[in-house]
Structure 1
Amino acid sequence: MPPENTPSRLNYAWFVVAILFPVALLNYLDRQMLATMKASMVGDIPSIANRADWGLVLGCFKWTYAILSPFGGYIADRFSRRHVIAGSLFVWSAVTWWTGHVTSFHELMLARALMGISEAFYIPAALAMIAEYHPGLTRSRAVGVHQTGIYIGQILGGFAGYIADSPEHGWRWAFTMLGMIGVVYAVPLLLALRNPPPATATPGAAATSRPTEGVLRGLLGNRNFLLLVLYFTLPAIAGWVVRDWMPDILREKFHLGQGKAGVSAILYVQIASMVGALVGGVLADRWMRTNARGRIYTSALGMALFLPALFSVGNAGTLSLAIVGLIVFGIGWGFFDCNNMPILCQIARPEWRATGYGIMNLVSISCGGFGDWAFGALRDRHMPLNLIFGVFAGVALLSVALVLAIRPRSEQTG
Structure 2
Amino acid sequence: MLNFCRAGGYPVYVLCLLLVAYLLNQLDRYILAVVIQPVAQDLGFGDKSCLANLTESHVTEYCNNGSNEIECLSLLDAKGTRTCKWDYNGNGWEYQVMAGPVFVLVYTFMGIFVGCLADGANRKVLLSASLMVWSLMTCLMGFVREYWQLGALRFGQGIGEAGCTPFAVSLIADYFPETARGSAMGFYNWGIYMGYSLAFAVGTYATRADIMGMGWRGAFLLSGLPGFAVALLVLVSVREPPRKHRPGEESAPPGQNLLQRLGPQLRPFLSPALLLLCLAGSVRNAGGYVWAYNVQNYFSLYFPQVDMGRWLSWIPLVGGSLGVLFGGFVSDRVVKRRGLTARVWVLVISQVLASPFLLGALWLRPPYAFLMLIPAYIIGEMWVGVALAIVVELVPSSVRTSAVAVYLFIITNIGGSAPLLVAPLSALCGLRGALILLYPGAYLTGSVLFLATLCVIRRGWPKPDSEDLEPLLQEPEPGPEDKKST
Q: TM-score, normalised by structure 2?
A: 0.75
Matched with 1:397 is 444
The CA distance in 2 between the partners of 1:110 and 1:390, in whole Å, is 34
RMSD after superposition: 2.6
> 1:275, CA displacement in angstroms?
0.8
SS of 2:44's partner is coil
More helix by share: 1
Post-superposition Cα deviations, 1:232-282, rounded to whole Å, max 9, x if no partner, equal 21111121232233234324432247xx31342352133101111121111
Contact 2:425–2:434 (CA under 8 A) maintained in structure 1: no
Q: Deviations over 1:288-309 (max 9, x none)?
A: 1111122111122221134223
**Partner Cα separation in structure 2 for residue 391 and residue 364 of structure 1:** 15
Pairing partner for 1:137 from 173, 179, 190: 179
The alpha-carbon deviation at position 152 of structure 1 amounts to 1.2
> Which of residues 350, 355, 358 is equivalent to 1:307?
355
Which of 103, 111, 124 is 1:69 aligned to?
111
Distance in 2 (alpha carbons) for counterparts of 1:375 and 1:309: 21
Larger mean CA deviation between 300-309 and 142-151 belongs to 300-309
Provide Cα deviations, 1:14-64, integer angstroms capped at 9, x if missing partner. Answer: 121011121111011111222222222222221233433222121021221
Q: What's 1:16 paired with?
A: 14
Alignment of 1:104 with 2:104, yes or no, is no
Q: Which amino acid aligns with 1:131?
A: A
- Structure 1 residues 109 and 281: CA distance shift in structure 2, 3 A: same
What is the rounded CA distance, in whole Å, between the counterparts of 1:378 and 1:399 in structure 2? 19
Which ranges in structure 2 are unaligned for 5 or more consecutive residues? 48-90, 251-260, 463-469, 474-486
SS in 1 for 2:29: helix
Q: Look up the match of 1:276.
A: 323
Give the direction of change, closer, same or farther, for the CA distance of 1:329–1:62 in structure 2 (3 Å limit): farther
Q: After the TM superposition, which of the residue ranges 364-373 and 225-234 deviates more from structure 2?
A: 364-373
Task: Map Cα deviations across residues 138-192 of structure 1 (whole Å, 9 max, x no partner).
Answer: 1111111111122111111121223223333522101113222212321121011
Residue aligned with 2:381, SS: helix
Shift in CA distance, 410/242, structure 1 to aligned 2, threshold 3 Å:
farther
Q: Distance in 1 between matches of 2:313 and 2:284?
A: 18
- Match in the other structure for 2:72: none
SS at match of 2:179: helix
Give the Cα separation in 1 of the matches to 2:298 and 2:287: 14
Q: Could you tell me whether the CA contact under 8 Å between 1:241 and 1:371 is conserved in 2?
A: yes
What's 2:303 paired with?
A: 254
On the 8 A contact 1:310/1:390 being kept in 2, the answer is no
Deviation at 1:396, TM superposition (A): 2.0
Q: Tell me whether 236-245 or 89-98 shows the greater mean CA deviation.
A: 236-245
Q: Which ranges of structure 1 fall in alignment gaps of 5 or more residues?
A: 1-6, 207-211
Q: Residue 299 of structure 2 aligns to a residue in which SS?
A: helix
My pick for the range that moved more, 293-302 or 45-54, is 45-54
* Cross-structure match for 1:339: 386
User: Take 1:280 and 1:251, find their aligned partners in 2: how far apart are those partners?
Assistant: 32
| Structure 1 residue 350 displacement after superposition | 1.0
What's 1:166 paired with?
209
Residue 160 of structure 2 is aligned to residue 113 of structure 1: no
Superposed, 1:54-65 pairs within 5 Å as 54-59=95-100, 60-65=102-107
- Between the aligned partners of 2:226 and 2:304, the Cα distance in structure 1 is 34
**1:83 alignment partner in structure 2:** 125
Contact 1:151 1:270 in 2 (8 A): yes
**Distance change >3 Å, CA 195–CA 114, structure 1 → 2:** same
SS at match of 1:102: coil
Q: 1:102 to 1:357 in 2, by over 3 A?
A: same
Query: CA separation in 2, counterparts of 1:104 and 1:391?
Result: 35
Distance 2:441 2:426 in 1: 20
Bigger RCO (CA 8 Å, 6+ sep) = 1
The letter for the 2-side match of 1:231 is: A
Greater Cα offset, 90-99 or 246-255: 246-255
**What whole-Å deviation, never above 9, does each CA across 1:92-130 have from its counterpart, x for those lacking one?**
000000111122322222211111111001111101110
Q: Which amino acid aligns with 2:124?
A: R
| Structure 1 residues 264 and 359: alpha-carbon distance in aligned structure 2, compared to 1, 3 A threshold | same
Alpha carbons of structure 1 residues 104 and 375: separation in structure 2 relative to 1, 3 Å: farther
Aligned length: 397
Off by >6 Å, runs of 4+ in structure 1: 376-382
Q: Is the 8 A contact 2:20 2:191 kept in 1?
A: yes
Q: Identify the residue that residue 188 of structure 1 maps to in structure 2.
A: 233
TM-score with structure 1 setting the length: 0.88
Structure number, greater radius of gyration:
2
Distance 2:6 2:180 in 1: 15
Structure 2 Cα separation of the partners of residues 113 and 181 of structure 1:
20
